Structure 1
Amino acid sequence: MLKKCMGDPSLIIPTEDIGIKDNLSYEEIPVQILDRQVRKLRTKEVASVKVLRRNQFVKEATWETEEDIKMRYPHLFEFGEVPN
């Protein structure tokens, strides 16, 4: 059974601070590259980087192609070499 609840206006967070779009989604911005690896396929090599995003734990970091991350977030590669 549902109970009637009075909301507390002081607990409301403005959506402009979070960056929520009209369709109620937001982009998790990468903050750091943790690792780099090169996978060898039959005919080519694919470089991948382990990306840590904002509001994420290290164990939740994901592997993404280095080329894609370099194109969208070049600032992550400005300060020297990516760790191996």
Structure 2
Amino acid sequence: MKTAQSRQKSYADKIRRDLKFAVGDHVFVKKIAPMKGVMRFGKKDKLIPRFIGQFEILDRVGALAYRVALPPNLAGFHNIFQVSMLCKYMSNSLHALNFEPLQLTPNLSYEERSTQIFSRHERKLRNKVIKMVKVKLLNNSEEEATWETEIDMKSRYPKLFGES
């Protein structure tokens, strides 16, 4: 039993790395959730962002925890995180993070709204043709536009098709 434990410890030690942050460093926070079972950002667990933000460390709390400056729209979250929940932000002048505040509901989710139709396409199956439209969502960039069925989009967003 002792040899199995030491072998597992040696495997874990290769993966584990000691992270230390200084006051003023910027970090990403890993997978925030207020409670289990709540959909975060309108997506199921598999599709949620892995890290959010670029938040500043305010101070160190204990040996492995840090207090992070969260924006007002994340006030429902506790602002102290363990080192395993943080990822260091490496600044790079070539990229800029667009952090647009979301209008969150009390259960910390938000509604996606389509704003623009980019293109149309017809998918041909054996017995029918499905009309598809490529739509841009309100809080997403043009690269993140998705293909949706035209019937579904007409029922949810008639204004995009010139209907009222």
Same-fold call, TM cutoff 0.5: yes
Higher relative contact order (CA 8 A, sep 6+): 1
Map 1:1-84 to 2 at 5 A.
1-4=64-67, 11-13=71-73, 18-78=102-162
**SS at 2:153 equivalent:** helix
* Partner Cα separation in structure 1 for residue 158 and residue 106 of structure 2: 27
Equivalenced residue count is 75
RMSD: 2.6
Where does structure 1 lack aligned partners over 5 or more consecutive residues?
80-84
List gaps (5 residues or longer) in structure 2: 1-63, 76-100
Which range moves more in the overlay, 47-56 or 22-31? Answer: 22-31
| Distance of 1:21 and 1:36 partners within structure 2 | 32
Bigger CA radius of gyration: 2
TM-score (norm 1): 0.73
